[in-house]
Amino acid sequence: MVGELERPEILAAVDLLAREVPGAERAVMRGTAHLPSMERPEDFDSLVEEFLGRSR
């Protein structure tokens, strides 16, 4: 998970991890930067719960 306002090199690293790590997914939180879990905690929690639900 990454904030859409994150630095370009971080966004690129997230893209690489999503492509190369089996089972990894890329989620972008709109309107956030480096700390999406603190900037939009409810949205963050929802995305984590959705991911964990698919991973069972």
- Residue 28 has a pLDDT of 95
- Residue 18 has a pLDDT of 97
- The model's pLDDT over 4-37, given as tens digits with 9 standing for 90+, comes to 999 999 999 999 999 999 989 999 999 999 999 9
Is pLDDT of 56 > 90?
no
Question: Is residue 47 a contact partner of residue 1, using CB atoms and an 8 Å limit?
Answer: yes
Question: Is residue 23 a contact partner of residue 55, using CB atoms and an 8 Å limit?
Answer: yes
The Cα 11–Cα 34 span in angstroms is 10
> Token pair of 32, please?
């956030």
Q: In total, how many domains does the chain have?
A: 1
DSSP letter for 4, please: T
Domain that holds residue 39: 2-54
- Residue 26 has a pLDDT of 94
The Cα 7–Cα 33 span in angstroms is 8
> Token pair of 17, please?
């991890």
pLDDT confidence tier of residue 55, bands split at 50, 70 and 90: confident
